[in-house]
Amino acid sequence: MPVTVHLSGHLKAHTNGAVEVSLAGEFVIVGDVLDALWKQHPALRDRVLNEQGEIRQHVNIFAGNDSVKRRQGLATKLTSDEIHIFNAVSGG
């Protein structure tokens, strides 16, 4: 299934200004989608994943309405044709 990745504004510097990237292909898990995203926009990888290939602490990724950090991480099965990537909001 093709997937649309929605990115927060701070990431658009690494996608030639795009905040929405459409990816064609058959994707089963979130990691498959991100691998395709890195091929188009390699600089995004280091902003989203740490050196161990895990989602950075202050980055949220949602597949549909599900936070992948609360599921199986990058191995979370796709249940939607949309993924959202944005920074976590914190403060007090």
Is residue 92 in a domain? no
Q: Within a domain: residue 74?
A: yes
Domain that holds residue 16: 3-87
Does residue 57 sit within a domain?
yes
Residue 68 lies inside a defined structural domain of this protein: yes
Q: Is the pTM of this model over 0.85?
A: yes
> Residues 40, 46, 48, 49: is their CA dihedral positive or negative?
positive
State the total domains in the chain: 1
| Arithmetic mean of pLDDT, 26-36 | 96
Check which CATH number belongs to the domain holding 73 and give it. Answer: 3.10.20.30
Mean pLDDT of 67-74: 95
Higher per-residue confidence, 90 vs 88: 88
Indicate the average pLDDT of the chain.
93
